[in-house]
Amino acid sequence: MWRLKVSERSSPWLRSMNNLLGRQEWVFDPDLGTPEERAQVDKARREFAKHRFERKHSSDLLMRIQYAKENPHNHLGDLPAVKLQENDDVTEEAVWTSVKRAVNRVCNLQAHDGHWPADYGGLLFLLPGLNEDGGWGLHIEGYSTMLSSALNYVALRLLGECTNGGDGAMEKSKRWILEHGGATFTGAWGKFWLSVLGVYDWSGNNPVPPEFWLLPYYLPFHPGRMSCYCRMVYMPMSYIYGRRFVGPITPLVLELRKELYTDAYDEIDWNKARTECAKEDMYNPHSLVLDILWTIVHKFEPIMFHWPWRKLRNKALAFTMRHIHYEDESTHYINLGAVPKALSMLACWIEDPDSEAFRCHIARVPDYLWIAEDGMKMMAYDGSQVWDACLTIEVLLATGLIKELGPTLKRAHSFIKNSQLLENCPGDLNYWYRHISKGGWTFTTADDGWQVSDCSAHGLKVKIISSSSPLKKLYNQI
């Protein structure tokens, strides 16, 4: 069975500023669980699979099964369920009984370190579920897109799934991709990852040259002025693009070159493919000015691989790699979300597959993986620990049941207190395109390092409330 571990060290390569407080990691133990518990987990999985097209969201039943055993307490008593008929009056007693039952559920899902573990699934090209039409959507409820469909089809093929004809899931997926034009119509991020694998040519990408990072910062289009998430995506992406890295061309890669396109791979017009995009993926068409700019850069950028321009390319690659290492170390190798995490980890591997940086990256991969009855998925971030804990504390306090919930609130307040950022990132923050973070709170854990304004506001609010005389007195009595 799978088991959720919280705030525990599982690798010597893990780096932390507060003993990994809030870290969530699912681990598999073949000897874990009674026969009854294993049967309960299997039933949950079967039920989800049976109804996966009607009820696409999981209910985190694996975590609930585990915590029902670890936290079997009824803090407010064993209360009966309230079931009202259509014409029944809603009494104050019925409302309070329902509130107390809900509070019991919430308290029983709290981890020992004070936060409430939870799935933070997001973009479904990470690890999603298949749609009925054979494609994959960008979100659980979304229609199929070429970006998600191409990447997930390739991922399943890499994991050993085969296309043997007939009308199985893989055949339906392949048919959906080809009927919508083939993988040349995937979005920019899809083109990028397929190029890394070797099933798409780098010349079919719009340029992401690392030399842009060497431009003067006062220019309004300097990439350092982009929003933090865009910057953290395109910095390692520009490094990988600048190196034109391609993985080993294996027999499977050659098979995928045949499976993903309507034309023979050697006959594809990559310059045309560079601007192709499926209508399902076209949220905002490119402007004419942007297309002209990309065309100019695309035409002249190849000179960067020849002397004397190669020197400038090498300088740009070294610059971007320094910034990648800075972000890795500042976030304890968590990075600002799953996409920057994967890109930065790949960049470190390309630079040196035996490096300490890459090993530290590998140790943080489990932080992004979540297990439920719908299987394993990759979360958009490494959780929402601080955000969820703050809001949950505020809701519990609003019930007025402070005395009854003393131990729960004390653990939660301790988690928030010890999740505050106590230092700024090192060095000249302007040089690293960073802002102050000391005194703030992140969305996830302190190790994440990225101060967020609304999370900081709620963190401060909770700390102020917890310092009030009634709560301090209550905590001292526990």
- Cite the active site residues: 454
**Maximum distance among all Cα pairs of the chain, rounded to whole angstroms:** 83
Q: Is 3 helix (H, G, I), strand (E, B) or coil?
A: strand
Residues 124, 223: Cα–Cα separation, whole Å:
27
24 contacts 117 by C-beta, under 8 angstroms: yes
Residues 253, 263: Cα–Cα separation, whole Å:
16
DSSP 210-242: GGGGGS-TTSTT-GGGS-HHHHHHHHHHHHHHH
Angle, CA 62 vertex, CA 57 and CA 68 arms, to 5°: 120
Q: Helix 356-364 and helix 338-351: axis angle, to 10°?
A: 150
Give Cα 142 to chain centroid, integer Å: 18
Q: What are the tokens at 124? A: 């479904």
DSSP at 370: E
* 144-145 and 369-372 strand pairing: unpaired
Q: What's the one-letter identity of residue 129?
A: G
Q: What are the tokens at 178? A: 């080809």
**HSE on the CB side for 463, CA within 13 Å?**
16
Residues 264, 258: Cα–Cα separation, whole Å:
7
Q: What are the tokens at 408? A: 């729960």
216 contacts 311 by C-beta, under 8 angstroms: no
Q: What are the tokens at 197? A: 């694998």
Tell me the H-state helices in 304-452. Answer: 309-330, 338-351, 356-364, 385-398, 406-417
